[in-house]
């Protein structure tokens, strides 16, 4: 299989580089840790290693060194579409090279072979109470698949240096099944349909998902979902979903356990769930003003949100200090295809007003929009209007990045993660040593 061959060929060189760093340069200082970082959620502490993607604060994500515009331009396109094949992106993340169309299609073909979901998984989802959040259903379905893990089955019989092969098998099986599971959850939860969606091997990942969700503009939605899955795939390793997946995987839990943990992190409102909150906020604005408000009205509404103690969803970022290129790619998509849509016009106005409000408030380090600020608006246009489903879509995309990381972490023998904690008293002692109290000035 193509991904196996390509990774296998690169492995000796990568292992050599890591071995050299670990053996010969282990004591070289990369970064120092401040008290601000320890009490502040490890923000900016440089302590993770990945070659799959990197977030530059001033520029945004690069997948294997390529910016989003480059990825969208250079990856092979789906038949009849302008957006790349998702299989091509998976190849890029896994292998580190831009695939030919044939290579991208090989990944797509692997997915088609592996997309069948066992019946008991659908039953597990169906059995849950109707009001269960779709992220809970999604995470549970992923866990339910765990008993098919090749990694878990072979664990006692395989040597460490081939862990990655079983990890790759699991990752392909998992990512192949996710669109089917997500579409099933969508049709069951909002339309009461209990029918197993069928993956069509003649269609690509994006079109399959669009067809299985049964939106009316299948072709348009397939284009959106190709873009969506690609841009949501990875955001280096420190974000909560990637990190939760990596941490869980570092215990040699298989990819089902690891990704389910990642999904549970994605389900938080400060992370992936923000996309459902964003559209809710935009619609609240639209309803309050009966359409797109004036600049002044929006300015005041934004301040009201802040003054009521809430964040403005979709704005701010832990690492980025510029508008998120993933936001820009989606805005461009919408402006090319449906510039007159009321919510798109509103999202643009928000982009004009909210950064100014956040700057005036002076708290957020980055007053610019992130990926979530507009993703729901695009879903809404294509008729997917069930807000609480949006994080499931994010999850399908995120699986591509975190599983590529999972495979490489096993290939490079990355160890179990175990950072050290301190007590408050210990930190206070560190401060006392670093900043000894000055003696009180003596009278002259
Ligand atoms: N609205 C209001 N206040 C904000 C916002 C915002 N959009 N963004 C940051 N702040 C506040 C933040 O709450 C913090 O306040 P306090 O000191 O009172 O705790 C202060 O600004 C400093 O925060 P930052 O260091 O700028 O941001 P941090 O790295 O802690 O958090 C986010 C990053 C993304 C969690 C934060 O910007 C936020 O809550 N944004 C809104 C929710 C959101 O859009 N989340 C999606 C993230 C992207 N994703 O895909 O996961
Ligand atoms: C992500 O895509 O995971 C978010 O932008 C959050 C992050 O990078 O911290």
151 burial (CB, 10 Å; 0-12 / 13-18 / 19+) is: buried
Q: Tell me the pLDDT tens digit for each residue of 302-355.
A: 999 999 999 999 999 999 999 999 999 999 999 999 999 999 999 999 999 999
Ligand 1 shell residues, CB under 6 Å: 43, 270-272, 274, 306, 311-318, 363-366, 370-372
Phi-psi region of 129 (alpha: psi -120 to 50; beta: other; left: phi over 0): beta
Instruction: Give the span between the Cα atoms of 17 and 413, in whole angstroms.
Output: 13
Q: Tell me the pLDDT tens digit for each residue of 375-401.
A: 999 999 999 999 999 999 999 999 999
Q: In the prediction, which pLDDT does 442 show?
A: 80
Catalytic residue among 170, 254, 324, 372: 372
Nearest CA to ligand 2 atom 4: 239
CA of 148 to the centre of ligand 1 (A): 39
Task: Decide: 239 in ligand 2 pocket, CB within 6 A.
Answer: yes
Say whether pLDDT at 435 is over 90.
no
Average predicted confidence (pLDDT) for the chain: 97
CA of 242 to the centre of ligand 2 (A): 9
DSSP secondary structure, 222-280, as one string:
HHHHHHHHHHTS--TTTSHHHHHHHHHHTTT--HHHHHHHHHHHHTSTTTTTHHHHHHH
Task: Decide: 398 in ligand 2 pocket, CB within 6 A.
Answer: no
Phi, psi of 294 (to 5 degrees): -80, 170
Instruction: Give the span between the Cα atoms of 231 and 225, in whole angstroms.
Output: 10
Residues 71/79, Cβ–Cβ less than 8 Å: no
Nearest CA to ligand 2 atom 2: 235
Q: In the prediction, which pLDDT does 441 show?
A: 77
Instruction: Give the span between the Cα atoms of 314 and 379, in whole angstroms.
Output: 15
Residues 167/151, Cβ–Cβ less than 8 Å: yes
Task: Decide: 61 in ligand 2 pocket, CB within 6 A.
Answer: no
Say whether pLDDT at 94 is over 90.
yes
**E strands along 57-121, which residues?**
60-63, 66-67
Q: Tell me the pLDDT tens digit for each residue of 146-200.
A: 999 999 999 999 999 999 999 999 999 999 999 999 999 999 999 999 999 999 9
Q: In the prediction, which pLDDT does 440 show?
A: 79
By percentage, how much of the chain surpasses pLDDT 90? 96
Q: In the prediction, which pLDDT does 232 show?
A: 98
Q: In the prediction, which pLDDT does 242 show?
A: 98
Is residue 170 annotated as a catalytic residue, yes or no?
Answer: no
Shortest-distance ligand to the CA of residue 241 = 2
Q: In the prediction, which pLDDT does 276 show?
A: 87
Average pLDDT estimate for 118-124: 98
Catalytic residue among 232, 246, 317, 380: 317
Task: Decide: 318 in ligand 2 pocket, CB within 6 A.
Answer: yes
Instruction: Give the span between the Cα atoms of 43 and 319, in whole angstroms.
Output: 8
Say whether pLDDT at 439 is over 80.
no
């Amino acid at each position: 299989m193509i991904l196996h061959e390509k990774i296998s060929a690169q492995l000796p060189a990568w292992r050599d580089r890591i071995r050299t760093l670990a053996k010969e340069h282990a004591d070289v200082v990369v970064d120092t840790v401040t008290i601000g970082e320890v009490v502040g959620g490890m923000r900016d502490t440089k302590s993770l290693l990945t070659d799959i993607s990197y977030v530059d604060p001033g520029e945004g994500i690069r997948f294997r060194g390529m910016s989003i515009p480059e990825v969208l331009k250079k990856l092979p396109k789906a038949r009849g579409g302008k957006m790349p094949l998702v299989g091509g992106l998976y190849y890029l993340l896994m292998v580190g090279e831009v695939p030919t169309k044939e290579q991208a299609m090989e990944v797509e073909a692997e997915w088609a072979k592996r997309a069948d979901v066992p019946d008991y998984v659908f039953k597990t989802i169906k059995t849950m109470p109707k009001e269960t959040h779709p992220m809970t259903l999604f995470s549970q379905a992923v866990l339910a698949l765990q008993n098919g893990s090749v990694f878990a089955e072979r664990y006692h019989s395989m040597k460490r240096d081939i862990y990655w092969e079983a990890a790759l098998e699991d990752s392909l099986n998992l990512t192949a099944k996710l669109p089917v599971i997500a579409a099933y959850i969508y049709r069951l939860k909002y339309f009461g349909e209990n029918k197993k969606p069928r993956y069509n091997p003649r269609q690509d990942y994006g079109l399959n998902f669009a067809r299985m969700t049964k939106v009316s503009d299948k072709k348009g939605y397939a284009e959106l979902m190709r873009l969506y899955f690609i841009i949501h795939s990875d955001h280096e390793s420190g974000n909560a979903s990637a990190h939760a997946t990596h941490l869980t995987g570092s215990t040699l839990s298989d990819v089902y356990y690891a990704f389910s943990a990642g999904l549970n992190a994605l389900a938080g409102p400060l992370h992936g769930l923000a996309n459902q909150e964003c559209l809710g906020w935009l619609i609240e604005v639209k309803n309050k003003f009966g359409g797109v408000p004036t600049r002044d009205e929006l300015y005041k509404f934004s301040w009201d949100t802040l003054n009521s103690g809430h964040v403005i969803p979709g704005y701010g970022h832990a690492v980025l200090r510029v508008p998120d290129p993933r936001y820009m790619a989606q805005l461009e998509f919408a402006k090319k295809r449906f510039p007159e849509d009321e919510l798109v016009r509103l999202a643009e106005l928000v982009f004009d007003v909210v950064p100014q409000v956040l700057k005036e408030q002076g708290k957020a380090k980055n007053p610019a929009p992130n990926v979530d600020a507009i993703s729901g608006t695009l879903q809404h246009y294509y008729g997917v209007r069930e807000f609480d489903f949006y994080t499931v879509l994010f999850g399908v995309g995120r699986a591509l990045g975190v599983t590529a990381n999972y495979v490489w972490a096993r290939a490079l023998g990355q160890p179990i993660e175990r950072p050290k904690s301190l007590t408050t008293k210990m930190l206070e002692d560190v401060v006392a040593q670093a900043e000894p109290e000055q003696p009180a000035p003596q009278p002259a």
